[in-house]
Amino acid sequence: DQQVKQNSPSLSVQEGRISILNCDYTNSMFDYFLWYKKYPAEGPTFLISISSIKDKNEDGRFTVFLNKSAKHLSLHIVPSQPGDSAVYFCAATLQGAQKLVFGQGTRLTINP
Amino acid sequence: DAGVIQSPRHEVTEMGQEVTLRCKPISGHNSLFWYRQTMMRGLELLIYFNNNVPIDDSGMPEDRFSAKMPNASFSTLKIQPSEPRDSAVYFCASSFPQALQETQYFGPGTRLLVL
Distances (CA, A) of A3 to A90, A92, A93, A104: 11, 9, 10, 10
Interface contact flag, A89 B43, Cβ < 8 Å: yes
- What is the bridge-based pairing of β-strands B53-56 and B65-71? unpaired
> For residues B44-69, b (16+ Cβ closer than 10 Å) or e, as one string?
bbbbbbbeeeeebeebbeeeebebeb
Q: Mutate which of B89, B104, B105, B111 to disrupt the A interface (most A C-beta within 10 Å)? A: B104
Give the model confidence (pLDDT) of A17-60 as tens digits: 999 999 999 999 999 999 999 999 999 999 999 999 999 999 99
Residues contacting A69, CB < 8 A, separation 6+: none
Contact status, residue A32 vs residue A15, Cβ threshold 8 Å: no
Contact status, residue B30 vs residue B50, Cβ threshold 8 Å: yes
Which of B33, B97, B101 minimises the CB distance to A34?
B101
Q: How confident is the model at residue B99 (pLDDT cuts 50, 70, 90)?
A: low
Ramachandran class of B71: left when φ > 0, alpha when ψ lies in -120 to 50, beta otherwise: beta
Q: In chain B, which residues have their Cβ closer than 8 Å to the Cβ of A34?
A: 101-102
Q: In chain A, which residues have their Cβ closer than 8 Å to the Cβ of B45?
A: 99-102
Q: Which residue has the higher pLDDT, A56 or B62?
A: A56
Q: Could you tell me which of B1, B106, B2, B45 has the C-alpha nearest to residue A41?
A: B106
Q: How confident is the model at residue B42 (pLDDT cuts 50, 70, 90)?
A: confident
Q: In chain B, which residues have their Cβ closer than 8 Å to the Cβ of A92?
A: none
The residues facing A5 across adjacent strands are A24
Residue B97 pLDDT: 67
Q: How confident is the model at residue B32 (pLDDT cuts 50, 70, 90)?
A: very high
Residues contacting B62, CB < 8 A, separation 6+: none
Residues B61-73, mean pLDDT to the nearest whole number: 94
Residue B102 pLDDT: 66
B62 min Cα distance to partner chain A (Å): 17
Residue A104 pLDDT: 93
Residues in A whose CB is inside 8 Å of some CB of B read: 2, 4, 6, 32, 34, 41-46, 49, 89, 91, 93, 96-105
For residue A51, give the amino acid letter: S
Q: How confident is the model at residue B96 (pLDDT cuts 50, 70, 90)?
A: confident
- What is the bridge-based pairing of β-strands B74-79 and B19-24? antiparallel
